[in-house]
């Protein structure tokens, strides 16, 4: 039963049903219609022929009668001309002094075949040729009746009847050819449908096996795209999906490995300091140094956990943005005020280059503040003490720009292309390398971008955001 439910058998069955439907239409609709059309055409020809032979069967004007033999010869000529049986009959109102209406043959030595009195009466009354169908000796025949001119009171009718042997022979020939063509069509449909379905089934089966491997975490080589049809497009989409899943899987494993390493280092450090603090002979100054170092490690863990949570929310798409007009000058003053203790500790002079009415950007205020904190923290963390930091806000070429620049040694050439990658850091002891990756993600979510400009003696990160139309 599973083989019968496969794609190849279903498609072959569809081909068979389509062919069978076409045969049924031809056999039960087209062929009977063809037969009826041939019969109608034969009757049309018989009507025309009957009109052409009418003058030969009518009595001459002046009352002269034909001899029976002569009139029989005229009927024979009409039969030869029309290729039909011709009977001439008179209508009588009385017979043997009794009212017995009906027709009787006159001057015709042959038997009367399939005579239709109703048709004859209509021809007499309407003076128009009548046509119809009847049966004679179990066979269907076509009939034509037309009124003839006479000199007496009894109306006379010429009755033509023709068989449809030639029509039946033609239809029988057509049916035989239809049967032969249908048998060939069935064979071709089954074979062709089976071959097409087998090829499609092979391609679908290859996709199914590859999808099963990917579902089990085992990636396969890209599947060959052999056509541009729907299955070819599906194969190409599957290859792209697998490539993306492979990158995501690699990134996930690297993320887990790096995050585990970043978490393990401060945890092991804290564990070691705890063991050292348990020493009762430890002097107070050393104990204080250990506690300060432990506090730094705890702060590092807190920052790392927050960064990991932010990355998780960014990856899952659960970060909500509330876009509104934001005054970057006012926001810059507010955020830099939070870093005054750090600036004093770092012995850094902070220069604010913002106008009184700064540029207004269309963005999320809290997320821009988060990006500024990341950039300021990065500038203080990775530069020597006493390095000057400049924060500026301006509007340029339709965009609002916020720049954090430092006078540090700059970034090496190899680090410039990787600075926005997750967990990349030039100094592992000073951070986990997640801040700039988060900042770039947030900037892109707000339809902006984060640009790095670095040279020896200077490093600047510029946040470009869509400017608010009503801002300065």
List, for residues 373-420, the tens digit of each pLDDT value.
Answer: 889 888 888 888 888 899 998 888 878 889 999 887 777 766 666 777
- Residue 99, pLDDT > 50, answer no
pLDDT score at 145: 92
Burial degree of 318 (CB within 10 A; 0-12, 13-18, 19+) = exposed
Q: What is the pLDDT of residues 436-470, one digit of tens each?
A: 888 888 888 888 999 888 877 688 899 999 987 66
Give pTM, 2 decimals.
Answer: 0.47
Highest average pLDDT, of 223-227, 338-342, 400-404, comes from 400-404
**Integer-rounded Cα radius of gyration of the chain:** 52
Higher-confidence residue: 2 or 371? 371
Please list the residue range(s) of the chain that carry CATH number 1.10.287.130: 230-315
Mean pLDDT, to the nearest integer, of 415-435?
A: 65
Please list the residue range(s) of the chain that carry CATH number 3.30.450.20: 7-170
DSSP strand pairing (350-353 vs 324-327): unpaired
In which band, very low, low, confident or very high, does the pLDDT at 100 lie, cut at 50, 70 and 90? very low
Class for domain 322-466, per CATH? alpha beta
CATH architecture of 230-315: Orthogonal Bundle (1.10)
| Tokens 């085992």 sit on residue | 218
- Residue 108, pLDDT > 70, answer no
Q: What is the pLDDT of residues 60-94, one digit of tens each?
A: 665 566 777 888 888 888 888 888 888 888 876 55
Q: What is the pLDDT of residues 310-324, one digit of tens each?
A: 767 776 666 788 889
Tell me the CATH number of domain 7-170, given options 3.40.190.170, 3.40.50.1100, 3.40.50.300, 3.30.450.20: 3.30.450.20
């Amino acid at each position: 039963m599973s083989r019968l439910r496969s794609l190849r058998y279903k498609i072959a069955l569809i081909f068979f049903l389509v062919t069978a439907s076409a045969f049924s239409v031809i056999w039960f609709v087209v062929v009977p219609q063809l037969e009826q059309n041939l019969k109608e055409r034969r009757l049309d020809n018989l009507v025309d022929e009957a009109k052409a032979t009418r003058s030969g069967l009518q009595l001459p004007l002046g009352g002269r009668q034909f001899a029976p033999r002569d009139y029989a010869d005229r009927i024979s000529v009409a039969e030869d001309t029309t290729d039909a049986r011709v009977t001439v009959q008179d209508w009588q109102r009385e017979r043997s002094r009794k009212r017995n209406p009906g027709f009787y043959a006159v001057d015709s030595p042959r038997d009367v075949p399939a005579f239709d009195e109703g048709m004859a009466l209509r021809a007499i009354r309407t003076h128009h040729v009548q046509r119809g169908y009847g049966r004679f000796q179990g066979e269907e025949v076509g009939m034509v009746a037309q009124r003839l001119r006479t000199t007496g009171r009894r109306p006379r009718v010429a009755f033509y009847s023709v068989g449809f042997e030639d029509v039946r022979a033609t239809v029988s020939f057509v049916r035989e050819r239809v049967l032969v063509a249908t048998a060939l069509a069935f064979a071709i449909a089954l074979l062709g449908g089976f071959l097409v379905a087998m090829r499609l089934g092979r391609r679908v089966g290859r996709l199914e096996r590859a999808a099963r491997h990917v579902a089990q975490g085992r990636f396969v080589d890209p599947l060959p795209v052999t056509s541009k049809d729907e299955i070819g497009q599906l194969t190409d989409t599957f290859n792209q999906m697998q490539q993306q899943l492979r990158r995501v899987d690699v990134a996930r494993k690297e993320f887990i490995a790096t995050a585990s390493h970043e978490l393990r280092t401060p945890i092991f450090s804290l564990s070691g300091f705890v063991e050292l603090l348990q020493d009762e002979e430890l002097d107070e100054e050393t104990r204080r140094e250990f506690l300060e170092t432990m506090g730094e490690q705890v702060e590092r863990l807190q920052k790392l956990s927050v960064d990991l949570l932010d990355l998780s929310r960014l990856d899952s798409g659960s970060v909500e943005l509330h876009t509104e007009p934001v005054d970057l000058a006012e926001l810059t003053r507010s955020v830099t005020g939070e870093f005054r203790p750090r600036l004093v500790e770092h012995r850094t002079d902070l220069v604010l280059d913002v106008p009184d009415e700064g540029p207004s950007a269309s963005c999320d205020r809290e997320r821009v503040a988060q990006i500024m904190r990341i950039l300021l923290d990065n500038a203080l963390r990775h530069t020597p003490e006493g390095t000057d930091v400049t924060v500026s806000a301006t509007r340029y070429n339709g965009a609002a720009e916020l720049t954090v620049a430092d006078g540090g040694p700059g970034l090496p050439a190899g680090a410039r292309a990787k600075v926005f990658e997750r967990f990349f850091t030039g100094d592992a002891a000073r951070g986990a390398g997640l801040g700039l990756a988060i900042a770039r993600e947030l900037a892109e979510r707000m339809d902006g971008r984060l640009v790095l400009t670095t040279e020896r003696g200077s490093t600047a990160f510029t946040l470009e955001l869509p400017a608010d139309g009503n801002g300065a």
